[in-house]
Amino acid sequence: MQRLAHIYRLGLKELTSLRHDSVLLLFLLYAFSVAIYMPAAGSVIGVHNASVAIVDEDHSLVSRKLGEALQPPEFQPAVTLPYDQLDQAMDSGQYTFVINIPVNFQSDLLAGRTPELQVNVDATAMSQAFMGAGYIGRIFERELLDYAKQAVQSPALLSPRALFNPNLEGGWFLAVIQIVNNITILAIVLTGTALLREREHGTLDHLLVLPLTALEIMLAKIGSNALVVVLCTWVSLEVVVKGALGVPLAGSMGLFLGVTALYLFASTALGIFLATLARSTPQFGLLAIPVIIPMLLLSGGSTPLDSMPQWLQWVMQLSPSTHFVSLGAAILFRDADASVVWPDLLALAAIGLAFFAIALARFRRSLAS
């Protein structure tokens, strides 16, 4: 009971210290509000409002149908462009797509020949160019088959339906991934800076003369910072994600917050370990960058794990962020319960215990030196 009392009072000291740190408080407010809402509300995954021009050398019914087939919201209304301005329009970046329909295109089509048209793509608009060229190809194929009456009956009718997010809005997924990323950053930064702040102010030496152990000091820092991040996560999910963005989270909020606390146990221990290696806050920031960036980019939130090399997939299984991303998607989007996600829960707990043991050993060694 005495140890619990020590941890409780040390935790209150950590919360009081955080309350007087205006910079970290502003960072917390930004990380769980603006930094989530703006990317999710402004993100467009796919083709949206792409500019198109058509060089119509055929002036036929087919060429007009092809131009009219490119409709909002994927494309802007097609603009007619003279042939001698094609190169200039592409070089200036005025249009993402410039389509050149040659002379006798309709007559060749009706004659059974396979006429060609040219789609010029401004590849500097990379995501729009790659996906938009595919969109244009499928739209034109449908229009030409319909006009030429050459549509072939498909042996099977495919009717895809999205069980979650039927309109495939990328912001819904991005909002949750932003929360996961911000939790990772804050878990490492808050605990690391808290330890270094005490060392720089000399208060860590004061704690050493008290009847406190390294385990009690470390648990207090992990517990207090984890409590702050879990509360911020809950408020952000309710107010920003569900309220402002209108994302219908299907899963259990309690289970996700419990998983978040378990993830924070691992990531805050990693923050303390990095803080024991650094001698100043700027040095800690430099150490944290090569740790945080791979955790964010290679955890499966930005790029699916299946698209990575096999050896990298194995390596990332040692990162707690990989399992947290998987757990977050399964719980919040697919309404999975503990009986479904227990392998990731077990892996996350094992990684957390390993990180905690390593960080505690390093912390004890740093106090003794």
Judge contact between 284 and 198, C-beta under 8 A. Answer: no
Distance (Å) of CA 4 to CA 288, 319, 337: 30, 30, 31
pLDDT digits 0-9 by tens, 240-284: 888 888 888 888 899 999 999 999 998 988 888 888 888 888 888
| Residue 231 predicted with pLDDT over 50 | yes
pLDDT tier at 314 (50, 70, 90 boundaries)? very high
Distance (Å) of CA 74 to CA 92, 159, 161: 22, 21, 20
Instruction: Report the percent of the chain where pLDDT is more than 90.
Output: 12
**pLDDT value of position 349:** 92
**pLDDT value of position 4:** 80
**pLDDT value of position 167:** 62
pLDDT digits 0-9 by tens, 111-149: 878 888 888 888 776 667 777 888 888 888 888 777 766
Judge contact between 21 and 198, C-beta under 8 A. Answer: no
pLDDT digits 0-9 by tens, 62-104: 888 888 888 887 888 888 988 888 888 887 878 889 989 989 8
Judge contact between 21 and 225, C-beta under 8 A. Answer: no
Query: Domain 52-148, what fold?
Result: abc type-2 transporter like fold (3.40.1710)
Unique residue bearing structure tokens 């829960």: 345
| Residue 207 predicted with pLDDT over 70 | no
The pLDDT mean for the chain works out to 82
**pLDDT value of position 152:** 46
Per domain, the residue ranges of the chain are 2-31+165-368, 52-148
